Structure 1
Amino acid sequence: MSQSKRIVVVGASRGLGLALAEEYCARNWHVIATSRGQSEGLDELRERYPSLLEIETVDTTDIASIRALARQLETVSLDALFVNAGICKANTLTPLEVAEKDFLDMMSTNALGPMRVVEALYDQIAKQGVIAIMSSELGSIANCTGFWELYSSSKAALNMLMKAFSARQGDKSCSLILIAPGWVQTEMGGANATLEIAQSIPFVVDVVEQSAGIPGLRFVNRHGEILPW
């Protein structure tokens, strides 16, 4: 039997992150799933896949926590890294109305934290591996409609930081993906979202798997279609 591929899924306590961990386990990947605190969903998933799932505590807004994870994995080769951590606050407000802390929390969690994880774990990714970050169609400046403008700006910032990271790596980068899962019915997406998790996450994982060995950065949707920056 061939050895399972190995992935770190960051931000896997619930919603899309938990669904990612479950999908990868179902595909026989060895999954290192991170959460800021205890997650009943992850605990239940580990009971189903005790030989495939590890759970680690990581706070992506705490640089010391990220560095501790990097030290723990410094001898581990990863086939993929998927950073899913993200929050949405004050999504109906304007810059004049929002509390400064809410906006800064989104920027820290949705943009700065994910890129710090990428930077910290980059050397652990196999040459033919994939780094994916959960972005959003709302991160596209070209397609902006003003919907959830503060959240959108944090995802646009994430996209820019990933673009800059890719430029620094040049032709030596592994596959880098900013992927938009669609508007999914989760606690963050809300009941009005247009997609169920099963209509999104399996396709997202397909795109990541199919991207192995394709260097450079792409901003895509769950079907692998290129999105405008």
Structure 2
Amino acid sequence: MSATSHRQALIIGASRGLGLVLAGELARRGWRVIATTRQNDSELHANADVWNGRLEVESLEMTSSEQLAALRERLADRQLDLLFVNAAIDRGNLSIDEVSTDMFTEVMVTNALSPLRTLEALRGLVAPGGTVAVMSSDQGSISRNTEDGYELYKASKAALNQLMRSYATRYANDGQTKLLLDPGHNRTRLGGPDAPLDPHDSIPAVVDILEAQAGAPGLQFLDRHGETVPW
């Protein structure tokens, strides 16, 4: 990676929760951060004022190919050390027989298809030796799926992991580090108020991993402790 004062990151999906904390943590460490939101009045805009130009806000609906292309054009003169896609939705603790086709499509498009389309659209902005990363979950681990519940969400994360593996195979020789990261069960809108982890505690550990793994070859699926998550 480049020198600390010049490291640049693009965080996709930073309006709240883990993405918002991630953008702030990178800015705190001296990164120049571009962070996207779908909302004009998100907390992200308020945070941008705090970081003295180290945090920029861009508008993006990640599921829109047109908006991805437009963002790519707006950032054409940038060179990124990190491209991080953070996006997920959940539609409740339903068994698969309770999931409508429309709900299945919505969750799979948001949680699996769109993150990889985003990497495809924006990977050309990443510098040689840079990192592309996606926020995953141990809920996507097939071997750890030993408890009932949240079947659609688990399936979407497993699909995300598989698509990322295909991506890593296709671009095996591009020199970029590729990471799937499990931040643990955090107290966010998605994780719920009873989750055991606070994002302000878990996300600094995630950033430690991002910085430590910079330049590492191949694809890794790691938790916030840097331990490998089984596929």
Q: TM-score band (shorter)? A: over 0.9
Give the TM-score taking structure 2 as reference length.
0.95
Letter in 2 for 1:81: L
The alignment's C-alpha RMSD in Å is 1.4
Partner of 1:66: 68
- Asked if structure 1 preserves the Cα contact closer than 8 Å seen for 2:177 and 2:217, the reply is yes
* CA displacement, residues 110-167 of structure 1 (integer Å, 9 cap, x when unaligned): 1111101111111111112111100001000111123311101001000001000011
Residues 1:175 and 2:194 are matched in the alignment: no
Deviation (angstroms), 1:2: 6.1
Partner of 1:211: 213
Corresponding residue pairs, total: 228
Distance 1:192 1:223 in 2: 21
Distance 2:177 2:196 in 1: 29
SS class of match (1:3): helix
Runs ≥4 in structure 1, deviation > 3 angstroms? Answer: none
Distance 1:7 1:211 in 2: 15
Partner of 1:101: 102
Runs of at least 5 residues in structure 2 that lack an aligned partner in the other structure: none
Deviation (angstroms), 1:215: 1.8
Distance 2:42 2:167 in 1: 34
Report matched runs for 1:70-89 at 5 Å. Answer: 70-89=72-91
Runs of at least 5 residues in structure 1 that lack an aligned partner in the other structure: none
Report matched runs for 1:51-200 at 5 Å. Answer: 51-89=53-91, 91-145=92-146, 146-200=148-202
SS class of match (1:170): coil
- Asked if structure 2 preserves the Cα contact closer than 8 Å seen for 1:66 and 1:120, the reply is yes
- Asked if structure 1 preserves the Cα contact closer than 8 Å seen for 2:140 and 2:158, the reply is yes
* CA displacement, residues 44-86 of structure 1 (integer Å, 9 cap, x when unaligned): 1111013111111111111111111112222211000110011
Letter in 1 for 2:25: E
- Asked if structure 2 preserves the Cα contact closer than 8 Å seen for 1:171 and 1:215, the reply is no
Deviation (angstroms), 1:171: 3.0
Distance 2:42 2:105 in 1: 28
Partner of 2:10: 8
Letter in 2 for 1:101: D
